[in-house]
A and B are shown apart, each in its own frame.
Chain A
Amino acid sequence: EDKVVQSPLSLVVHEGDTVTLNCSYEVTNFRSLLWYKQEKKAPTFLFMLTSSGIEKKSGRLSSILDKKELFSILNITATQTGDSAIYLCAVIPRGSTLGRLYFGRGTQLTVWP
Chain B
Amino acid sequence: DSGVTQTPKHLITATGQRVTLRCSPRSGDLSVYWYQQSLDQGLQFLIQYYNGEERAKGNILERFSAQQFPDLHSELNLSSLELGDSALYFCASSPGRLWETQYFGPGTRLLVL
| Bind each other | no
Query: Residues on B close to A: CB < 8 A?
Result: none
